Amino acid sequence: MMNESFPGYVYVVSDSVGDTAEAVARAAMSQFEANSDPSIIRRIPFVNSHRRVEESVRQVVREGGGLIVYTLVVPEIRYYMEENCRAAGISTVDLMGPTMDAMEHMLGRPPRQEPGIVHRMDEQYFRRVAAVEFAVKYDDGKDPRGFLMADVVLAGVSRTSKTPVCMYLAHREKRAANYPLTPEIFPPRELYLVRDRIIGLTISAEQLQEIRRERIRRLGLDNNSSYDDLQRIREELRHARNLFDELECPVIDVTHKAVEETATTVLEMMRKGEWSRG
């Protein structure tokens, strides 16, 4: 069912799988809280011929209209899309064309006009896959030996976004491991051997309590533990801070930060080599 607050769907049309266009569309929609329902976005991939353009436009018309956001690299197909949409009274946003035109002007040579190049299984792709496998294998301190092979090790108490940040970093080809801190367990020796690659994650006690309570609710668990007890949480955070001081590692406060924001901060610190709090 269509979101009643939005007068149509956003159609992501691409000559490949459509990941790029959908990512941009979702980023734009996130700025409109009332219309952020993900079901509003519909993907129409592999539109690489006049016939596929016509089918796509007919689908949009048949379903009541909306906005077409497209990434089509072949100029002839782009122009045909614009002509068909204009005739059907459908609004469009060309995400790829203007950027390629500007780059062609700057570089003085035409683009390759090959759909899906960014998704080809090249060396970069395999590095990314290897990094994702690494993050899964060495998640949550499963095998501390992984710390010795990691590009970065994230440490923090439970629910400080360690795992999702590691996965984000993996998609940036970084081998990221993480270790959960708890006062009752002494950290493994390997953690001290890689103190030059550790970044600590901390958070406000109050927000962490909210996050843990929500997790308990979603899992349908009985709240008979100290997991979301504020006093216990403060004790865990003090323990983590003491360890960060001992390791002399940089610390990121993830309070009210999105995973992407935290991961971007980590990447920037890695790029600059800011591994000490100087």
Domain end, chosen from 85, 102, 119, is at 119
Nearest Cα to Cα of residue 240 among 166, 154, 138, 175: 154
Task: Say if residues 183 and 236 touch (Cβ distance below 8 Å).
Answer: yes
Q: 157 with 264, same domain? A: yes
Whether 1 is covered by a domain: the verdict is: no
* pLDDT digit string, tens, across residues 184-236: 999 999 999 999 999 999 999 999 999 999 988 888 877 677 899 999 999 99
List beta partners, residue 41: 10
Q: Is the dihedral of CA 131, 133, 135, 138 positive or negative?
A: negative
Domain boundary among 67, 100, 119: 119
Q: Could you tell me which of 144, 153, 146, 157 has the C-alpha nearest to residue 240? A: 157
Residues 252 and 139 in one domain: yes
Same domain membership, residue 156 and residue 101? no
Query: Would the pLDDT of 2 be above 50?
Result: no
What's the pTM?
0.61
Do 155 and 112 share a domain, yes or no?
A: no
Domain carrying residue 268: 123-272
Q: What is the pLDDT of residues 71-130, one digit of tens each?
A: 998 889 999 999 999 999 999 999 988 888 888 888 888 877 666 555 555 677 788 889
Rounded Cα gap, residues 98 and 79, in angstroms = 12
Give helix 205-219 / helix 230-247 axis angle, nearest 10°.
Answer: 120
Q: How many independent structural domains does the chain possess?
A: 2
Domain with residue 105: its CATH number is 3.40.50
